[in-house]
């Protein structure tokens, strides 16, 4: 893993640029959201106490801004995954060749041009697929099964399972649309099911999540202290701390996600080699081969 990041330092540089762009976008959305808090009016109840009533239009506008922020945040995450996966796959398959263009520039140009529509659709489809997977899993264990429910659950589970993080990674390599990439990526893992890789993937995501969580808690606590001392009225101090915690968590995830994205791309390239009985990188085959006890196949 460290050798890949050292050989492709552009992964870190590109992640920094994406992070800075995401910070600017977050600041713009935050600036749009703040004025909507003041859209409302005061009323006095029978006991003479004043209550702030937000305007109905303000609530709808706040929901719209939040939904656009979440969708764009997902889009930024998919752009980063696409770029990191493409840089990693170029290193894996063509690392020994002289290229006329830098892989990072090629990946960014492709992500923001021919594959931008795929990323926009994927940024909406992938979270919905993950939500649907959770719902199906809950209904399987939380409710009494019937024959029809088992059939629908099996069909939808198979379809939704193919819509995963490897679809975007494969799309960066092949240039296919999301639906085509989902079908092809699902076929690639016939010899190397992701079940062998889940433990490594879970560990990497847990490490970067804990790191991001630690920094987000510190940022949220400091903003809470600042709001408690300087802000007026004091009722907004908890909201300010929670909001800054959430924003910091989202921002840090954009930077630290380059680690699991790189691992996903490496495993996808390894699976392609296994499918066609090729070896483009002995180190990667040795790394993932130990998970399946097939190092003898190298």
pLDDT in tens, 6-30: 666 778 888 888 888 888 888 888 8
Residue 268 burial (10 A CB sphere; 0-12, 13-18, 19+): buried
Is the predicted pLDDT of residue 217 greater than 60, yes or no? yes
| pLDDT (0 to 100) of residue 294 | 47
Is the predicted pLDDT of residue 212 greater than 50, yes or no? yes
Task: Tell me the chain's radius of gyration from C-alpha atoms.
Answer: 23
| pLDDT (0 to 100) of residue 230 | 67
Three-state SS at 10: helix
| pLDDT (0 to 100) of residue 196 | 63
User: Residue 235's pLDDT band (boundaries 50, 70, 90)?
Assistant: low
φ, ψ of residue 51 to 5 degrees: the values are -130, 140
Element (H, E) at 43: strand 40-44
Give the mean model confidence (pLDDT) for residues 133-150.
55
| pLDDT (0 to 100) of residue 152 | 47
Share of the chain above pLDDT 90, in %: 2
**What sections of the chain are H helices per DSSP?**
2-7, 10-37, 56-94, 103-111, 116-142, 147-161, 165-174, 178-188, 198-230, 237-256, 258-275, 282-292
Give every CB contact of residue 211 below 8 A, 6+ residues apart in sequence: 252, 256
| Tens-place pLDDT, residues 187-197 | 787 767 766 67
| pLDDT (0 to 100) of residue 219 | 80
Identify whether the C-beta of residue 245 lies closer than 8 Å to the C-beta of residue 220. Answer: yes
Share of the chain above pLDDT 70, in %: 73
Q: Cα–Cα distance between 82 and 165 in angstroms, integer?
A: 10
Q: Round the average pLDDT of the chain to a whole number and report it.
A: 76
CA distances from 286 to 88, 169, 170, 282 (A): 17, 21, 22, 6
Tell me the pairing of strands 50-54 and 40-44.
Answer: antiparallel
Q: Cα–Cα distance between 172 and 295 in angstroms, integer?
A: 28
Least confident range from 37-46, 156-165, 211-220, 241-250: namely 156-165
Is the predicted pLDDT of residue 224 greater than 50, yes or no? yes
Give the mean model confidence (pLDDT) for residues 225-241.
65
- Tell me the whole-structure pTM to 2 decimals: 0.74
| Tens-place pLDDT, residues 157-191 | 545 555 567 888 888 888 888 878 877 877 787 76
CA distances from 206 to 85, 257, 263 (A): 20, 11, 13
Least confident range from 14-23, 136-145, 196-205, 249-258: namely 136-145
Is the predicted pLDDT of residue 297 greater than 60, yes or no? no
Most confident of 35-39, 54-58, 68-72, 135-139: 68-72
For residue 181, what are its two tokens? 């990439």
φ, ψ of residue 185 to 5 degrees: the values are -65, -35
Give every CB contact of residue 2 below 8 A, 6+ residues apart in sequence: none
| pLDDT (0 to 100) of residue 128 | 76
Is the predicted pLDDT of residue 143 greater than 70, yes or no? no
| pLDDT (0 to 100) of residue 82 | 92
Least confident range from 136-140, 156-160, 206-210, 217-221: namely 156-160
Least confident range from 76-80, 125-129, 154-158, 273-277: namely 154-158
Give every CB contact of residue 96 below 8 A, 6+ residues apart in sequence: none
Identify whether the C-beta of residue 176 lies closer than 8 Å to the C-beta of residue 186. Answer: no
Give the mean model confidence (pLDDT) for residues 210-221.
83
Element (H, E) at 41: strand 40-44
Give every CB contact of residue 18 below 8 A, 6+ residues apart in sequence: 76, 79, 80, 83, 254
DSSP 54: E
């Amino acid at each position: 893993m460290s050798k890949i990041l050292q050989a492709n330092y552009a992964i870190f540089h590109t992640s920094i640029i994406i992070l800075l762009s995401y910070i600017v976008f977050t600041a713009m959305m935050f600036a749009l959201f703040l004025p909507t808090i003041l859209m409302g009016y005061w009323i006095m109840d029978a006991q003479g106490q004043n209550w702030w009533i937000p305007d109905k239009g303000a609530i709808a506008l706040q929901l719209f801004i939040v939904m656009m922020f979440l969708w764009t945040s997902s889009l930024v995450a998919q752009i980063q995954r696409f770029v990191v996966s493409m840089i990693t796959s170029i290193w894996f398959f063509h690392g020994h060749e002289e290229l006329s263009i830098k892989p990072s520039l090629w990946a960014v140009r492709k992500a923001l041009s021919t594959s931008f529509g795929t990323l926009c659709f994927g940024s909406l489809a992938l979270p919905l697929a993950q939500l649907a997977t959770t719902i199906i899993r809950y209904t399987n264990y939380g409710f009494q099964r019937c024959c029809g429910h088992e059939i629908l659950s099996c069909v939808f589970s198979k379809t939704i399972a193919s819509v995963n993080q490897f679809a975007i990674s494969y799309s960066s390599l092949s240039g296919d649309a999301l639906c085509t990439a989902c079908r092809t990526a699902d076929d690639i893992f016939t010899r190397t099911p992701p079940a062998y890789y889940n433990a490594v993937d879970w560990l990497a995501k847990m490490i970067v999540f804990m790191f991001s969580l630690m920094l987000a808690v510190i940022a949220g606590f400091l903003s809470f202290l600042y709001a408690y001392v300087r802000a007026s009225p004091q009722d907004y101090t908890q909201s300010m701390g929670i909001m800054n915690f959430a924003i910091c968590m989202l921002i840090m995830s954009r930077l630290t996600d380059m680690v699991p994205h790189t691992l996903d791309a490496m495993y996808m390239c390894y699976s392609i080699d296994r499918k066609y009985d090729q070896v483009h990188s002995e180190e990667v085959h040795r790394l993932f081969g130990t998970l399946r006890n097939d190092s003898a196949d190298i």
